[in-house]
Structure 1
């Protein structure tokens, strides 16, 4: 009898500990700490990826877009060129739209204007939680619709995403509407559950899969979605438009193998580039010239001659 009590007590303790870790995990995910906006601008300025003079003189329009999730999204339509062709840029978790300016400068050189915006609960946008692409994909749908309404049906629209922004891009294209002309996914995760398994693998003393499973149940109750719903690897199988997959081999946070898996799963037009250098979200920062050449090659390969002439 005493042994049964001890076993029961041990089981109860384990379950309680698992539940506690699950709650802690969902808290960290939902309310992940954002980078200070001033820090982002200072970092980008110091690295010469943000030029205040260019930004100040660039023709631009601030937009406030209603999210179908019940808050507002704030972004800036940068219009340095006389063209309607536009790239929508989705930043990574903890960043904001100012981190996207470096890509805006690249796309300007390639013939595109850009729309940069803050994801939910980032920067100046509303929203109480971060959902790693689940709710963000619906926000992106509202943004694409708004931008399309401004630039017209004849314009080229592409979507570029980094990290969480890349996952959001693929989830949008593969599960809502594949209506952009092309997508660029830079260091996206393929399966949110597998990413969480890696993150917590060495940080908790109990079975990590049980912990993630319990956290999944808790997340459904707290924020209304399952980790199982955040799987770009499934979404890419539905994308027919061209996708450029990018990752760096030095990325230890989101493994490059995830991008390789998604590239293999994607049917139809696609390209893959694995940079030798650059940690997570650093492919552009470490390989700027080669990155731009890669994007130019992708556009030349998959955008029609008519579209290319319109970009010039």
Structure 2
């Protein structure tokens, strides 16, 4: 009986570790969407659809990691720039719909594929833990090639990109602003929410194992991936936008972040337009643009 019990415990342990490893892969080594796949999914023919010229293809390094993206040089030559950050498992094509808001203001734009996304390298994705360091290098590189001072560069992010931007902003005052559309408040919450959506609440007993294995494999700390905690140390202007009917990331995530924001120049817009995740701009583009413009006018040195 003892032998059977011991074997059962060993079998269960290996089973849980095996299943945990499998789910850790879906968290940090998810399938990579190519640029062409994302372009086709979004039914984009050309960047000209967004009123943009053909971009300069760029590549830059953060240590040994190679990242690739686009640089759009604005002919108005105003000293302002915006870095655009896409969502999870998407590419820089997915962030282009926001570009006209800033392009019309005369700002140059910089969009790149996050690590383990699109054309960029990277074995693992870490929900902002290492990506915020890539963003630091991206802003430096953007400033170098555009001659726009870093303090005149703002960050716009959607979903995972929004969460990355907020984590980067923690304790900094050397860039212009953050506009975050539909961010998650921390990695653990969003991973567990999506696991339940895809499978069932029963999956939650496996999440601590999967996340622990993910930490070991990718050499990071899940509990330190938290825009909600980072918000306590953000003093820069921040605009949060979130749809009340977001089915992927509940609006409560932005509400929690907003409550924690140290900044006195902060705004939370909860849209009640019936939009799904990161689709507020699709439902009412003119109103969305007006809200962003008002925020920039009231809280930054960006002027039309």
Contact 1:26 1:219 in 2 (8 A): yes
Counterpart in the other structure of 1:164: 160
Counterpart in the other structure of 2:293: 296
Tell me the distance in 2 between the aligned counterparts of 1:286 and 1:35.
25
**TM-score, normalised with respect to structure 2:** 0.89
Counterpart in the other structure of 2:123: 128
Contact 2:27 2:214 in 1 (8 A): no
Alignment of 1:7-22 (within 5 A): 12-22=10-20
Count the aligned residue pairs.
299
**TM-score, normalised with respect to structure 1:** 0.86
Tell me the distance in 2 between the aligned counterparts of 1:122 and 1:279.
23
Tell me the distance in 2 between the aligned counterparts of 1:31 and 1:62.
26
Contact 2:195 2:203 in 1 (8 A): no
Please state how far the C-alpha of 1:248 moved relative to its aligned partner.
Answer: 0.8
**Cα gap change, 1:28 to 1:147, in 2 (>3 Å):** same
Contact 1:216 1:226 in 2 (8 A): no
Contact 1:84 1:155 in 2 (8 A): no
Tell me the distance in 2 between the aligned counterparts of 1:63 and 1:228.
33
Runs of 4+ in 1 over 6 A off after TM superposition: 4-7
Please state how far the C-alpha of 1:96 moved relative to its aligned partner.
Answer: 0.9
Structural RMSD (CA): 2.5
1:265 pairs with one of 260, 263, 267: 260
**Helix, strand or coil: the match of 1:51?**
helix
Alignment of 1:83-232 (within 5 A): 83-149=78-144, 150-153=146-149, 156-174=152-170, 177-201=172-196, 203=199, 208=204, 210-232=205-227
Contact 1:85 1:151 in 2 (8 A): no
1:167-188, CA deviations, whole angstroms, 9 ceiling, x for partnerless residues?
A: 110111116x442210011111
Please state how far the C-alpha of 1:141 moved relative to its aligned partner.
Answer: 0.6
Tell me the distance in 2 between the aligned counterparts of 1:91 and 1:241.
21
Please state how far the C-alpha of 1:60 moved relative to its aligned partner.
Answer: 3.8
Contact 2:60 2:67 in 1 (8 A): yes
